[in-house]
Amino acid sequence: MSPANPFTRRKDRIDELAATAASPSGGIAEAGAVDEKPGVSLIASAWSRLKRSPVFLLGAGITLVFVVLALVSPLIAPHDPAAGLLLDQVRPQSNPVPGPQDGFPLGADSRGRDLLSRLLVGSQQTLIVGVFATITGLAGGLSLGILAGAFGGWVDALVMRVVDVMLSIPSLLLAFSIAAVAARPSQVTVIIAVAAVQVPVFARLLRGSMLAQRSSDHVVAARALGVTERAIVFRHMLPNSLAPVIVQSTLVLAVSIIDAAALSFLGLGNPNDRQPEWGQMLGRAQTYIYDYPHLAIYPALCIIVVALGFTLMGESLREALDPKSRR
Amino acid sequence: MTDTATTPRPSRHGDEPLLSVRDLSVTFRRQGEEPFTAVDGVSFDVRPGQTVGLVGESGCGKSVTSLAIMGLLPPRGNTVEGTASFEGTDLLRLPADEMRDRRGRDIAMIFQDPLSSLNPVVSVGLQVTEVLERHRGMSRKAAQPVARELLDRVGIPDPDRRLKDYPHQLSGGMRQRALIAMALACAPRLLIADEPTTALDVTIQAQILSLLKELVEDTGTALVMITHDLGVVAGLCDEVNVLYGGRIVERGTRHELFANPRHPYTNGLLASIPRLDGARGAPLTPIRGSVADNLPWDHACAFAPRCSQPVDVCTAQTPPLEESGVRALRCHNPVR
Amino acid sequence: MARFIIRRLLQMVGVVAVLSVLLFAWLRSLPGGTVSAILGERATPETRAALTEAFGLDQPIYVQYLKFVQRAATGDFGVSTGVLPGTDALQIFVDRLPATIELSVAALGLAVLLAVPLGYLSARRSGSPLDSGLVILSLVGVAVPVFFLAFLLKYQFAVEWNWLPVSGRQDSLGCTRITNFFVLDGLMTREFDCSASALKHLVLPSLALATIPFAVIFRITRASVLEVLGEDYVRTAESKGLTARVVRARHVMRNALLPVVTTIGLQTGALLAGAVLTEKVFAWGGIGDALARAFEVRDYAVLQVLILAAAGIYVFINLLVDISYAIIDPRVRTR
């Protein structure tokens, strides 16, 4: 390990993750360790350990509930999340936020809309922000990574230099700056800002793991057998780079949802709240937070639980796929 | 245990043994897995000044044996049974802090991979002087010339410079020499060497072995040599214990064992060494299979599936360790 | 060692160059173009023309970039339009820097002092209830939005229980200002009540800001100690009979801290971003506060200074980290 420039370390951490892709059939058995069956692939052995891991099961359980909720919530929500049903109870001076009552177990927000329905339906937009931000970031990173890898030489050097500099800007600050460029903020600009931060991470991750594989035995063997370069990239290198990408994606899902909330908090989020999203609900609750903290606490709890679910899943995946942890 | 291993052997020169290991067993227990007995009732003696070999393939329990004696097994997940008495004190029952006082002073150890066994961020000098500071109560300053002397004695050129160097600046052979210097810093009475030459180039291997031989002869330090390499045994050991599957299968003096191997495993090990004086084109005879084929010792001989001359009883009954003098053998159907 | 530092400094120059291009591109892509972005609503035709001239917007793009670099080099980033209208943007940064440094140092100090010993303890007792509890705590720590935690702390300890001040850096005690580091100033002038007040104000914001660095540093320390504990050289140290204290300090921690030092450097980035949110909640009056305000009112003159400064500080701190890394690790130093 040698630091090559002022921000090597963040690069190194990404590269370390990338290296987990390099050995498709796993780590070195210690002397005396008798549980290492020959020929069991890294993925298969990782899966067999994941099935027994309570941390992974908890994370996967939370994620599953969240996704199902996001899909069915419009059907089970008691009210229309955009309709100001209790608007007549809103008194800007004395009672800006209607409390819990019959049919409205959590009360309403400052525009008289049912809080429970907004929370339920909010899962949908939250999932959309998380998934699209991750996919966009991944797609951007993938393109840059392949561009750098395919052309090599100065294109590679240039792309990676820009990537490294982007990594040298504190990520949330970068997201804020990109969101600030948008003349008319919307859900799309939020997704772009959150995703842009992940582009350099994914680019570096993919390029790192492809480079690690370029010299690995199975790729050298394939090349020696006369497999075309294209087939090597798509059939051998990309599939084996998947493990670190999946791990990173899971973690990015959590980060995106939290970052989106921070954008809303700074007024850089989606101003249209007819389609509720947890981050937006939390970011906007600041107006009434000392008098009506529940407006912030409910969406915050939702975000924390879901982010924790993704994180638990990602971390246990990382551990399971890391050849080093197989001791 | 159905063995006769517990009966102490008559001593060779009439000396009391320096280290006497009796019925040593180490079992690893990991959550969700079957307990695994790595060392299974091993007994042997080491007399002052003597060099004793523990020989076997990887996974036969030889390293675990040495770590158990040193008290260096991980604190959890294993059970150690039996005794290892060093000058009358059972090391296995010693409180942790008393064991700490003895390690590096009375018993020292050198390991297989000299690069990973040295702390990369601490200078070689400090890694030598810290032993002197700890066990001989020297100040770091007073320890400097002693450390210099030690490096010189193990054949490291320009010791003054090397004291300030870091491990990555030394060659592989020099690193192992530095480790030997650390181990010998307090003139221990027993030195355990765990495959000290395996990670080195062949020419360096010979240098390190002759250095070890010279040092134990000069200082009278007893040496336990752990190796898979019978060549090392031939050049160094007075007495050899052959381990298989966590148990001793044969023991004898170096000459007896090389001249007259009785266990098919020992015989196989010797036959699989390429010989320069053999007939041209004579095939090497490897031992077939691998440790993975082992049977459990409970009702069989663990080596039976790989044996060149198994008989029916080998898979039905545990062979006992039969001893006469230094010689010992665990086999239903010995060679010759 | 000198060569090592010089090489890093040269690389830093390259980074700042690329950063300036990115910042320039960012400014050019702002809604309504640079002039409206900087002048905002108050733009009269005269001021517009003056600014167009000053920025060289009528000239080729590379000239514009060079002018931008020239102005940046002389510290001329324009005048604030929203945060403190009429004030020089660079001056806002300079005035507010001590507040943010004070908060960041307190938060990072808190995070490191708690995370490193706990990470060691957790690794030593891996699998114990203490370990599991701390690991879960650290995972929850990164899942909680910083500003929500800040609100929660403020609501509970300041608003509900009234134990600690709600916002600001100090009560108005008429304290003498020397460095604008309020705690330090109080000590220097022997106005100890000033220091005490500043410390009291620091508690909640630094707690909120410390959570994420704590969680990350804790987990890196734990993983790193676990890995080092399995290294051969630790076994060698034990085989030499060294005292537990020497084994821990010289052989375990000295190696285990290498990745931790790196992580601490990286966390300064999270700290700067977290400061934007935390300072806003506690009306701290530092750079983060100003940045939050600048984002809300789109005060681009202030934004460009503060973003460039934040990135610069981050790169600089990581340079310091690399140098300290080289001091600890001889393999880097003597190559």
- DSSP alpha helices (H): ranges in chain B? 62-70, 96-102, 124-136, 140-153, 159-164, 172-184, 202-219, 230-236, 254-259, 264-271
- If contacts are CB pairs under 8 Å, which of residues 215-274 in chain A contact chain C? 254, 258, 261-262, 265-268
Torsion angle (degrees, nearest 10) of CA C131, C137, C142, C147? -150
Q: Whose structure tokens read 């996974």? A: B59
Would the CA dihedral through A301, A286, C272, C37 be positive or negative? Answer: positive
Mean pLDDT of the B228-252 span: 89
Q: Do B119 and C244 touch (CB under 8 A)?
A: no
pLDDT for B169 beyond 60: yes
For residue A294, the model assigns a pLDDT of 87
Q: Whose structure tokens read 């030889």? A: B62
Residue C251 binned pLDDT confidence (cut-offs 50, 70, 90): very high
Chain A closest-CA separation from residue C198 CA (Å): 24
Q: Do C145 and A169 touch (CB under 8 A)?
A: no
Residues B42 and B55: beta-carbon distance below 8 Å: no
pLDDT for C329 beyond 50: yes
Torsion angle (degrees, nearest 10) of CA A161, A165, A171, A177? -110
For residue C248, the model assigns a pLDDT of 93
List, for residues B87-102, the tens digit of each pLDDT value: 989 999 999 899 999 9
User: Residue B327 phi/psi, 5° resolution?
Assistant: -70, 140
The predicted complex's ipTM stands at 0.86
C-chain residue closest to B184, CA distance: C240
For residue B30, the model assigns a pLDDT of 76
For residue B28, give the amino acid letter.
F
With helix as H, strand as E and coil as C, how does B241-263 read? EEEECCEEEEEEEHHHHHHCCCC
Listed by start position, the domains of chain A span 49-81+111-325
- DSSP alpha helices (H): ranges in A38-100? 42-50, 54-76
For residue A27, the model assigns a pLDDT of 32
Chain C closest-CA separation from residue A313 CA (Å): 11
Would the CA dihedral through A26, A31, A35, A37 be positive or negative? Answer: positive
d(CA A259, CA A263): 6
For residue C40, the model assigns a pLDDT of 62
Mean pLDDT of the B132-152 span: 92
> What domains sit in chain C, N to C, each tagged with a CATH number?
89-167+209-334 (1.10.3720.10)
Residue B10 binned pLDDT confidence (cut-offs 50, 70, 90): very low
pLDDT for B86 beyond 70: yes
Residue B67 binned pLDDT confidence (cut-offs 50, 70, 90): very high
For residue B228, the model assigns a pLDDT of 87
For residue A326, the model assigns a pLDDT of 44
Which of A26-30, B140-144, B226-230 is least confident?
A: A26-30
- Three-state DSSP class for B66? helix
Candidates C32, A77, C238; CA nearest to B104 is: C238
The segments of chain A whose pLDDT lies below 70 read: 1-43, 150, 322-327
Mean pLDDT of the C62-81 span: 82
For residue B280, the model assigns a pLDDT of 66
For residue A25, the model assigns a pLDDT of 37
For residue B34, the model assigns a pLDDT of 80
User: Residue A77 phi/psi, 5° resolution?
Assistant: -65, 130
C-chain residue closest to A258, CA distance: C145
pLDDT for B7 beyond 50: no
pTM of the model as a whole: 0.83
Q: Do C335 and A2 touch (CB under 8 A)?
A: yes
Mean pLDDT of the C216-222 span: 92
One DSSP character per residue, C140-154 reads HHHHS-HHHHHHHHI
List, for residues B23-50, the tens digit of each pLDDT value: 999 998 877 678 888 899 999 999 998 9
For residue C19, the model assigns a pLDDT of 82
Which tops the pLDDT comparison, B3 or B294? Answer: B294
Q: Do B118 and C236 touch (CB under 8 A)?
A: yes
On chain A, the residues whose CB falls within 8 A of the CB of C296 are: 266-267
What is the distance, to the nearest Å, from the Cα of residue B285 to the centroid of all Cα atoms in its chain?
26
Cα–Cα distance list, B16 to B10, B22, B43, B45, B217 (Å): 10, 15, 15, 9, 19
For residue A266, the model assigns a pLDDT of 87
d(CA A243, CA A18): 9
Angle in degrees, CA C72, C77, C78, rounded to 5? 150
On chain B, the residues whose CB falls within 8 A of the CB of A31 are: 58-59, 63
Q: What is the mean pLDDT of chain C?
A: 85
Fold of A49-81+111-325: MetI-like fold (1.10.3720)
- Assess A197–C contact: CB distance below 8 Å, yes or no: no
Task: Write the CB contacts of B320 (distance below 8 Å, at least 6 apart in sequence).
Answer: B2, B3, B4, B330
Q: What is the mean pLDDT of chain B?
A: 86
pLDDT for B18 beyond 50: yes
For residue A320, the model assigns a pLDDT of 79
d(CA B257, CA B252): 6
Q: Do B117 and C328 touch (CB under 8 A)?
A: no
On chain A, the residues whose CB falls within 8 A of the CB of B28 are: 32
For residue B13, the model assigns a pLDDT of 47
For residue A24, the model assigns a pLDDT of 42
d(CA A252, CA A258): 10
Chain A: touching chains (3 or more CB pairs < 8 Å): B, C
Mean pLDDT of the C24-35 span: 73
Chain C closest-CA separation from residue B99 CA (Å): 8
d(CA B3, CA B248): 11
For residue C178, the model assigns a pLDDT of 83
pLDDT for B322 beyond 70: yes
With b meaning 16 or more CB within 10 Å and e meaning fewer, what string describes B134-157?
bbeebeeeebbebbbebbebbbbe
Quick one: which H or E segment has residue C258?
A: helix C254-281
One DSSP character per residue, C207-229 reads HHHHHHHHHHHHHHHHHHHHHHH
User: How many residues are given for chain B?
Assistant: 336
Q: Do C31 and A183 touch (CB under 8 A)?
A: yes
For residue C304, the model assigns a pLDDT of 84
Cα–Cα distance list, B23 to B54, B84, B96, B266, C55 (Å): 15, 9, 21, 22, 88
List, for residues B245-289, the tens digit of each pLDDT value: 899 999 999 888 888 889 999 988 888 777 666 666 666 677 877
- Three-state DSSP class for B89? strand
Contacts 24+ apart (CB under 8 A), C56-61: C57/C33
- Assess C313–A contact: CB distance below 8 Å, yes or no: no
Q: Do C140 and A304 touch (CB under 8 A)?
A: yes
